[in-house]
Amino acid sequence: MKGTRVAKAHRRQEPSWQEVLPAKLRALLGQSEWEAVTIGRSRAQVLHVEDGYLKILRLGQTWGSDLQAEKERLEWLEGRLPVPQVYYYGRNAFFEYLYLSEIQGIMACDQQFRDDIPGLIDLLAEALHMVHAVKAQASPFTRPLQTHLEEIQQSIATNRIDNAKFAFDHQGVSPQAWYDQLVHLFPTSDDLSFTHGDFCLPNIMIDRKKRRINGLIDWGNGGIADRHEDLAATCWSLGYNFDQAWISLLLKAYGHESTDQKRLTFYQRLDDLSHYYLK
């Protein structure tokens, strides 16, 4: 018993991110006030810091992209797409830190758009084409479908997906059974382009008055992949934030002639699993 008490007394407690904040980043932040950002599915803690955003990720997590991946993509995309500027990136023994400029505007999921959803949909289609027009051949970043499938299979096997909630929302079908059904929809060829990797409405910043795209955020999964993966994520997000009845108009605005419905269905079902990850 004495040994147990001694072990507890000397157990090392990991520091908070504030306690081990790198000196250079501390100087950049100064006395800035910060506000936690709770929207989105990021594994990182996200803080709004005056004219920018600070992302903090505890090291040792074994799934998902890290902040260095986003930093590298943002630096490559500078001059190609409207994306945040990297102010600082660093890591220590406990955390990664990524400090970015703020892109002005409102998220495409903002309920202000309810009075003009067709106008919003035109901007969503424009944003999709903007990203997919980036020359894929020049990109050093790829996201092979097989890698994505292996990540999801591992997540199911290690219980990182909320099995109970998924089954409740899908008439009793488990994540594994849902995944197994995807085999019958597996694309026999690729339709590759440069992609965002998480093209949900909160990641699209809009100037509503000028009716234009101000920028795109959250680039940790950006790279060469099937463009239907982006389209599937946007369809889901539009239905979730507004109404599924608008999805057909989005597909029309994007271009029916350039959309493979079977391929889109595959990526929609694949994307559905990603909304049940446990943090």
Indicate the domain borders of the chain: 2-101, 106-274
The answer to whether residues 160 and 237 touch, using CB atoms and an 8 Å cutoff, is no
Buried b (16+ CB within 10 A) or exposed e, 109-126: beeebeeebeebbebbbe
Statement: 2-101 belongs to CATH 3.30.200.20: yes
* Beta strands 86-91 and 223-226, pairing class: unpaired
Q: Is the pLDDT at 63 greater than 60, yes or no?
A: no
pLDDT of residue 40: 73
pLDDT of residue 1: 36
Strands (E), 50-199: 52-58, 86-91, 95-101, 106-107, 192-195
Q: Is the pLDDT at 64 greater than 60, yes or no?
A: no
Mean pLDDT of 117-136: 98
pLDDT in tens, 166-176: 999 999 999 99
Q: Which residues, listed in sequence order, are joined to residue 232 by a DSSP beta bridge? A: none
* pTM, to two decimals: 0.90
* 243, amino acid identity: D
Mean pLDDT of 98-123: 97
Statement: 106-274 belongs to CATH 3.90.1200.10: yes
55-59, 120-124, 239-243: the lowest-pLDDT one: 55-59
The answer to whether residues 109 and 236 touch, using CB atoms and an 8 Å cutoff, is no
Q: Is the pLDDT at 4 greater than 80, yes or no?
A: no
Tell me the average pLDDT of the chain.
91
